[in-house]
Amino acid sequence: MAVRSATMAYEDRVEPRDETLHRTRLGVAGGETRLVTIVNVSPNGFMARSEEAITVGETVTVTLPVAGSFVAEVRWALGGRIGCKLAQEVPPALYQFVLAAMR
């Protein structure tokens, strides 16, 4: 049932994403970090690959180049990938610079 929910959350995403290959760390509960690779991004979220488990519903912090730190919620996790929704949109004036720095 958890896989079905993760798949449904992934399919519900309507905003297009831009492909990237950006290695960074996510701040997770307890002050720990997880090394991830962000493989696609939009002004409101991202998908990342992680070798370590990250739980659906977990709140994480990600630092995006140019724009700084953002809080995000893990909306789905499947096969070493996670989909996160940012709590605050990347400012439109900065998004193209963020994207260029991540590519």
For residue range 12-29, list pLDDT tens digits in order: 556 899 999 999 999 998
The domain total for the chain is 1
Measured CA distances, 84 to 9, 56, 72 (Å): 10, 9, 6
Q: Which domain holds residue 14?
A: 2-102
Q: Average pLDDT, stretch 71-94?
A: 97
For residue 69, what is the domain's CATH number?
2.40.10.220
Q: What is the pLDDT of residue 13?
A: 56
* Exposure of 64 in the CB half-sphere (CA atoms within 13 A): 29
Q: Average pLDDT, stretch 37-58?
A: 97
Question: For residues 27-57, b (16+ Cβ closer than 10 Å) or e, as one string?
Answer: bbeeeeebebebebbbbbbbbbeeeeebebe
pTM of the model: 0.85
Q: Average pLDDT, stretch 46-59?
A: 96
For residue range 4-14, list pLDDT tens digits in order: 445 545 555 56
